[in-house]
A and B are shown apart, each in its own frame.
Chain A
Amino acid sequence: MKAAPFEYIRPKTVAEASVALGRRGANTAAIAGGQSLLPMLNLRVALIDLLVDISRLDDLKTVTETPDSVWLGALTTHSAIEDGKTPDIFNGLMRRIAGQISYRAVRNHGTIGGSVALADPAADWPCLLVALEATLRIVGRNGVRVERVADFIHDSYATTLTTGDIILGFDIPAPKAPLRWGFAKVARKSGAFAQSIAIAVMQGKNGPVSATLGGAGPRPLPLTATSHQLTLIGSTEEQVRGAISTDLDTYFAGLDAYQKRLHMANILRAARDMQAQ
């Protein structure tokens, strides 16, 4: 349970960090909160030559709010969001999600950028950022690029990050009307990665609904049929169940009977919580 030897540096600027991460012939990794990377290093499932500490780069810590969106720097911790230290234009949704991630001591250090960079299929922030159609800004060898989080994560633990890339932060569009939301999560143990994460959001009363499911496949995906059905006024539960079934078959092939029931129940719970707000 001790990490294998590696070198450690703490660059002063994003540019220096990017260069260090691209060091030729070396297996490098960036560390921010380290709450996922250090277990992997301690268990030796990840082996590196050089650890680049980006946790003190001020450019990754900015948090700003405009009428159109909220910008969260990649180093924003889960506990900062949990404690309401970041703008809450999502009617408490982000605080609710943050407070359920792992444990407080982990939330004090774990960052939203680290969570998205790892792209664990059962992580909370990727699911939320897909649900809210957020984009992220990445600095790399060829300058800065902007991508949708939904495109950035293309498979389990697989993103478009390449040598020398560093996530700067996330741009989350403001809802056009006060957000109504439901968040449902099933984990065998509190704080553990989830078996199922369902998020349903509606922009204002009877606005368009977006339902997203995480933990069911390699990456979180929007449930298009379910979202459409929930947007229609007067949908019956039978119709919503039918739409969820269609989405599970379309986007998450290979689920067994238990998993289908689990996700069905979880999505319905998120939808009901959203409608009750």
Chain B
Amino acid sequence: MTAITVELNGVKINDDVEPRQTLADFVRDRCGLTATHLGCEHGACGACTIVVDGVATRSCLTLAAMSDGRSVMTLEGLRSDPVMELLRKHFHESHALQCGFCTPGMLIMARDILQRHARPDVHTIRHELSGQICRCTGYANIVKAIVAAGQEMPQQTVAVAETPAE
């Protein structure tokens, strides 16, 4: 077993984990936070995407042991995050989910996109979202919701990423 200290959604947690345990299994099984969904468990579907030290991370491709000393944020920890509130509203209004399985990863990634791109257009969103799979194929409404949320973002909170030359 490996001893780890993780700040999970703002709360410091000390635990002993099996080295092979992924961060996804750690937050779900050890910490009972089940918003993080596991689809493929090899990095292809994006459902398990969470935030580690401020950046979007596949929690199935990170070991709990490797996250020692890191700050981890799951969807549960973003309940009152202003960008997430905006996204929730627009996901609701645009009907941007069907079965809901991919939604936690979609929301985390959508927030990541809005933090890096000011008022992203459809093309940017589709490229940035290409690592998130929705097996209901509900992409049109998901993209619509993110475009709408981007339009409504207070622009001073966006750290505008320079887009590399195409």
Residues of A within 8 A of B (CB): 1-8, 10, 31, 34-35, 38-39, 41-43, 51, 53, 55, 79, 82-84, 92, 95-96, 98-99, 102-106, 108-109, 189-191
Q: Are B112 and A96 in contact (CB-based, < 8 A)? A: no
> A residues within 8 A CB of B22?
2-3, 38, 42
Check if B130 is an interface residue, CB within 8 A of chain A: yes
Chain B residues 68-127 with CB under 8 Å of chain A are 68, 109, 112, 127
Q: Are A8 and B41 in contact (CB-based, < 8 A)? A: no
Q: Are B20 and A96 in contact (CB-based, < 8 A)? A: no
Q: How distant is the Cα of A55 from the Cα of B62 in the complex, in angstroms?
A: 12
Q: How distant is the Cα of A96 from the Cα of B56 in the complex, in angstroms?
A: 20
Q: Are B20 and A102 in contact (CB-based, < 8 A)? A: no
Additional 16 contacts, C-beta under 8 A, given A2-B25, A99-B164, A105-B56: A3-B22, A6-B20, A8-B65, A10-B65, A34-B61, A38-B43, A42-B42, A42-B60, A43-B42, A84-B162, A105-B57, A108-B55, A109-B57, A109-B58, A109-B62, A191-B130
Q: How distant is the Cα of A43 from the Cα of B43 in the complex, in angstroms?
A: 11
Q: Are A96 and B2 in contact (CB-based, < 8 A)? A: no
Shortest CB-to-CB span from B86 to chain A, Å, is: 20
Q: Are B42 and A104 in contact (CB-based, < 8 A)? A: no
Q: How distant is the Cα of A30 from the Cα of B57 in the complex, in angstroms?
A: 20
Chain B residues 152-166 with CB under 8 Å of chain A are 161-162, 164-166
Q: How distant is the Cα of A39 from the Cα of B132 in the complex, in angstroms?
A: 16
> A residues within 8 A CB of B60?
38, 42
Q: Are A2 and B61 in contact (CB-based, < 8 A)? A: no
> A residues within 8 A CB of B41?
1-2, 42
Q: Are A106 and B43 in contact (CB-based, < 8 A)? A: yes
> B residues within 8 A CB of A84?
162, 164
Q: How distant is the Cα of A206 from the Cα of B16 in the complex, in angstroms?
A: 61
24 CB < 8 A contacts A-B: A1-B40, A1-B42, A2-B20, A3-B20, A3-B22, A7-B19, A31-B66, A34-B63, A35-B58, A39-B43, A39-B61, A42-B42, A42-B60, A53-B66, A83-B161, A83-B162, A92-B164, A96-B165, A103-B130, A103-B131, A104-B109, A105-B55, A105-B109, A108-B55
Q: Are B46 and A105 in contact (CB-based, < 8 A)? A: yes
Taken residue by residue from 43 to 62, chain B's Cβ proximity to chain A (1 for < 8 Å, 0 otherwise) reads as 10010010000011110111
Q: How distant is the Cα of A92 from the Cα of B164 in the complex, in angstroms?
A: 7
Q: How distant is the Cα of A99 from the Cα of B2 in the complex, in angstroms?
A: 35
Check if B15 is an interface residue, CB within 8 A of chain A: no
Shortest CB-to-CB span from B123 to chain A, Å, is: 12
Q: Are B63 and A8 in contact (CB-based, < 8 A)? A: yes
Q: How distant is the Cα of A190 from the Cα of B109 in the complex, in angstroms?
A: 16
Out of A10, A51, A106, which one reaches B58, CB within 8 Å? A106
Shortest CB-to-CB span from A245 to chain B, Å, is: 29
Q: How distant is the Cα of A231 from the Cα of B24 in the complex, in angstroms?
A: 51
Q: Which residue of A lies closest to B132 (CB)?
A: A103
> B residues within 8 A CB of A106?
43, 58, 61, 131
> B residues within 8 A CB of A1?
40-42
Q: How distant is the Cα of A38 from the Cα of B127 in the complex, in angstroms?
A: 24
Q: How distant is the Cα of A25 from the Cα of B59 in the complex, in angstroms?
A: 31
Q: Are B131 and A102 in contact (CB-based, < 8 A)? A: yes
Q: How distant is the Cα of A189 from the Cα of B130 in the complex, in angstroms?
A: 9
Chain B residues 1-55 with CB under 8 Å of chain A are 2, 18-20, 22, 25, 40-43, 46, 49, 55
Q: Are A96 and B164 in contact (CB-based, < 8 A)? A: yes
Out of B19, B25, B165, which one reaches A92, CB within 8 Å? B165
Known contacts A96-B164, A104-B56, A105-B49; A38 and B18 CB within 8 A of each other: no
Q: Which residue of A lies closest to B17 (CB)?
A: A8
Q: Are A105 and B66 in contact (CB-based, < 8 A)? A: no
